[in-house]
Structure 1
Amino acid sequence: MNLRKLGATGPTVSAIGLGAMGMSGMYGPSDRRESIATVHAAIDAGVTLIDTGDFYGMGHNEMLLAEALKGVPRDSYQLSVKFGALRDAVGGWNGIDGRPAAVKNFVAYSLQRLGVDHIDIYRPARLDPDVPVEETVGAIADLVAAGQVRHIGLSEVGAGTIRRAAAVHPVCDLQIEYSLVSRTVEAEILPTLRELGIGMTAYGVLSRGLISGHWQAAPTGAGDFRAHSPRFQPGNVEANLRLVEALRAAAAARGATVAQVAIAWVASRGEDIVPLVGARRCDQLAESLGAAELALSPEDLQRIEAAVPAGAAVGERYPAHAMAALDSEDRGV
């Protein structure tokens, strides 16, 4: 596994990271034993960066990772943890809390659930509209000084917010959705990151399975986030799958799978970008990690982007209420 450095001040991590969210119910039921086996397989393959959130399964994901990583040398992997999303006992969402006192409360619980003495990258999951980002980042900076956090990250914020946060404390990376079908970051956010020496961890590189090459236009199960995703709705999903079929032809010409080509395309955008793959089964992980060996030529890239042109996807990446909460989607920033 090749390595990449997250920004000018961040850690050196595996060129592909593992996103663990799907192991805690966001895409329907998952198998605990298979999830743990997948984490083990990722570590064995040289994956060092593991991404989670304290609200994934209301703490379930962190406890799952604690079990999976028990006995693994702490200096052999990096934990990236998002915080701030408020949930209720039935899985509802109740906003974001970025207050300094809340930040220090959240980290205490995460350290306990994860069974570690520090978190490598700590980041607010979303911008709290009622708390200046300077206050939230300042609270994480206190945790860095205390040794409980090593680096500060951001998630789904726009260029203006990135600048304000970086003025308080060095930021190592921005976690944001970036894929062949989600490319709005290229206009302003990515240039801002590069100007400031901040890396990117890209999630949704397969658009939640939509461009994996395995998705069928069928109803999603109970508890599956995609049941409410605009891109998976009738009418939209069929149009989007036509893009996937065009991508399949480009992948076949390269002797790779659709998923591998989609992941490799994100990785090709720059050495400062680390794709996160959301595999929750060993077979999914094995296919995804094959992208690490796929060096795309200029001709490959031209063929891929002709198959899935920028802006070709039908439907937004989140439902309307969730899109409205994304600072990163504020076109006026």
Structure 2
Amino acid sequence: MKYTKFANTNIELSKIGLGCMGMSAAYGEDKDDKESIATLERSIELGINFWDTADIYGKGVNEELISQVLKNNRDKIFIATKFGFRMPNDTGNSFSGDIYIDCSPKHIKEAVEKSLKRLKVDVIDLYYAHRIDPNIPLEDTIGAMSELVKEGKIKYLGLSECTADELKKAHDIHPISALQSEYSLLYREVEKEILPLTKKLEITFVPFAPLGRGLMSNKLDISSLSNNDFRKNLPRYKGEYLENNMKLSQALEELAINKNATTAQLAIAWVIAQSDNIIPIPGTKKRKYLESNVGSVNLNLDSSDLEKIEDILKMYPNVGPRYSARENKFVKKS
């Protein structure tokens, strides 16, 4: 494993983290807690020391699952979780029905206590606002988060899916250490403003879905997705967009084979190669995919490789919006 500095600290984090959402939410009913726990344990063996979760993933179930491994490995893991998404009466499935954003100081104080309890930790290393609440002044949200630092309940602040202006404003109130957003061969909007800004401000950029939620693995069988897998409702998984993305993945596989790598490893390595402040968090609930993903850390892409990838992307530009209308209302850009 290779390691990199976290933000402007002396903390060394693995060059690839582990996204844990799929172990408990979003990707259908194919859940296997035993295999998920084995995957968490294997990640430690492979040198990963950065896990990512959120209170909305399975309505807290994901945090509780992680705690089973975290309790005996607390000194080995830098744990990140998030607050902000809520459901009416906190009922229902986290990826169905009505959800809304609440980043009020009152909710933040309640949410952190629940996450600490579920994770069974005394302090959360990195605490994200999962989205920016349009109904709450940013000063109030960041102010409440900074109070948690003073109280010793969290160490570092993070934001997810914000604009460059929001990031600058928040960073002026209290240092922001991490910015999380989707970033992959299928979604590069962050290259315009967000990624350069994080580098300038010494903020770690944490891309989720670096494989385009599986599309860039060239292994995904769309017909195998269960009815409640939320990807079935995403534009990229339908019609002409899906056809384009399958062809793109297949074209990338040819280059990957020449590099003695898988398409997934190539896609993640491309993300890592874009900036030295990047730590992607590909998600998986199976050891075999985890082990494959880790291989991307040692896949070196030279300028010729990167140019070839750009040429391939130009051939298949019709990747589609990343979210449906329902999910898209929670992000600044599609």
Q: TM-score, normalised by structure 1?
A: 0.95
Task: Give the residue type in structure 1 aligned to 2:223.
Answer: A
The alpha-carbon deviation at position 120 of structure 1 amounts to 0.5
Q: Is contact 2:247-2:316 (8 Å) kept?
A: no
The alpha-carbon deviation at position 311 of structure 1 amounts to 8.1
- Unaligned segments of structure 1, at least 5 residues: none
Name the CA distance, whole Å, in 1 between partners of 2:217 and 2:10. Answer: 30
Name the CA distance, whole Å, in 1 between partners of 2:9 and 2:329. Answer: 31
SS in 1 for 2:319: coil
SS in 1 for 2:216: coil
- Report matched runs for 1:196-235 at 5 Å: 196-218=201-223, 220-235=225-240
- The residue number in structure 2 matching 1:115 is 120
SS in 2 for 1:276: coil
Q: Is contact 2:245-2:316 (8 Å) kept?
A: no
The alpha-carbon deviation at position 93 of structure 1 amounts to 3.5
Provide, for residues 60-94 of structure 1, a one-character-per-residue CA deviation record: whole Å limited to 9, x for no partner. Answer: 0000000122311x221111111110124221342
Q: Is contact 1:183-1:310 (8 Å) kept?
A: no
Percent sequence identity over aligned pairs: 39
Task: Give the residue type in structure 1 aligned to 2:91.
Answer: A
Cα distance 1:311–1:38, how it changes in 2: closer, same or farther (>3 A)? Answer: same
Task: Give the residue type in structure 1 aligned to 2:45.
Answer: D
Q: Is contact 1:55-1:86 (8 Å) kept?
A: yes
- Report matched runs for 1:164-313 at 5 Å: 164-218=169-223, 220-309=225-314, 312-313=317-318
Name the CA distance, whole Å, in 2 between partners of 1:323 and 1:90. Answer: 20
Name the CA distance, whole Å, in 1 between partners of 2:302 and 2:37. Answer: 35
- Report matched runs for 1:127-166 at 5 Å: 127-166=132-171
1:31 paired to 2:36: no
Name the CA distance, whole Å, in 1 between partners of 2:150 and 2:316. Answer: 43
Q: Is contact 2:67-2:119 (8 Å) kept?
A: yes
The alpha-carbon deviation at position 219 of structure 1 amounts to 6.0
Name the CA distance, whole Å, in 1 between partners of 2:14 and 2:203. Answer: 17
1:125 paired to 2:125: no
Name the CA distance, whole Å, in 1 between partners of 2:84 and 2:11. Answer: 23
Name the CA distance, whole Å, in 2 between partners of 1:313 and 1:263. Answer: 20
Task: Give the residue type in structure 2 aligned to 1:164.
Answer: K
SS in 2 for 1:215: coil
- Report matched runs for 1:62-73 at 5 Å: 62-72=63-73
Q: TM-score, normalised by structure 2?
A: 0.94
SS in 1 for 2:39: helix
Cα distance 1:311–1:173, how it changes in 2: closer, same or farther (>3 A)? Answer: farther
Mean CA deviation greater in 40-49 or 300-309? 300-309
- The residue number in structure 1 matching 2:75 is 75
Q: Is contact 1:181-1:310 (8 Å) kept?
A: no
- Unaligned segments of structure 2, at least 5 residues: none
Q: Is contact 2:70-2:77 (8 Å) kept?
A: no
The alpha-carbon deviation at position 313 of structure 1 amounts to 4.2
Mean CA deviation greater in 62-71 or 6-15? 6-15
- The residue number in structure 1 matching 2:85 is 85
The alpha-carbon deviation at position 223 of structure 1 amounts to 2.0
The alpha-carbon deviation at position 322 of structure 1 amounts to 2.1
Provide, for residues 142-178 of structure 1, a one-character-per-residue CA deviation record: whole Å limited to 9, x for no partner. Answer: 0001111000001000101001100110111100000
Q: Is contact 1:183-1:311 (8 Å) kept?
A: no
Provide, for residues 258-281 of structure 1, a one-character-per-residue CA deviation record: whole Å limited to 9, x for no partner. Answer: 000000000001110001110110
Task: Give the residue type in structure 1 aligned to 2:92.
Answer: V
Name the CA distance, whole Å, in 2 between partners of 1:203 and 1:10. Answer: 23
Provide, for residues 81-121 of structure 1, a one-character-per-residue CA deviation record: whole Å limited to 9, x for no partner. Answer: 11110124221342010001110100000000000000000
Name the CA distance, whole Å, in 1 between partners of 2:128 and 2:11. Answer: 15
The alpha-carbon deviation at position 310 of structure 1 amounts to 9.5
The alpha-carbon deviation at position 211 of structure 1 amounts to 0.7
Q: Which runs of 4+ in 1 moved over 6 A?
A: none
Provide, for residues 36-82 of structure 1, a one-character-per-residue CA deviation record: whole Å limited to 9, x for no partner. Answer: 0000000111100000000100010000000122311x221111111
